[in-house]
């Protein structure tokens, strides 16, 4: 199957979700199919996203653990004098 072929899926939803979908159809002037397709694309792109180094560092808790250092340590050029020199 290539990216241009389409298949039909049948999905059961509860009454609240059906109402929310119908309300969104009225608000956006899009079809139910278009809204469901967009929601799936957004959701799947987010869960399949490879985490960045920043995401991993934040998740592991190593960001912001240094104590008693200036708050602008990573942005103030004064702290970079001599950095990287032997």
CA–CA separation, 23 and 45 (whole Å): 24
Distances in Å between the Cα of 9 and the Cα atoms of 2, 63, 68 are 17, 43, 57
Least confident of 16-20, 28-32, 52-56, 81-85: 81-85
Q: What is the pLDDT of residues 22-72, one digit of tens each?
A: 999 999 999 999 999 999 999 998 888 888 999 899 999 988 788 888 888
Nearest to 37 by CA among 11, 2, 70: 11
Give the Cα separation of 21 and 30 in Å (integer): 10
User: Model's pTM, two decimal places?
Assistant: 0.55
Name the pLDDT band for 1 (thresholds 50, 70, 90). Answer: low
Confidence at residue 83, expressed as pLDDT on a 0 to 100 scale: 83
DSSP letter, residue 68: S
């Amino acid at each position: 199957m290539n990216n241009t072929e389409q298949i039909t899926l049948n999905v059961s939803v509860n009454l609240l979700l059906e109402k929310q979908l119908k309300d969104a159809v009225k608000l956006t002037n899009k079809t139910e199919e278009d809204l469901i397709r967009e929601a799936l694309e957004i959701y799947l792109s987010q869960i399949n996203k490879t985490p960045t180094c920043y995401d991993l560092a934040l998740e592991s808790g190593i960001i912001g653990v240094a104590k008693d250092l200036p708050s602008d340590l990573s942005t103030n050029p004064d702290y970079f004098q001599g950095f990287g020199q032997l």
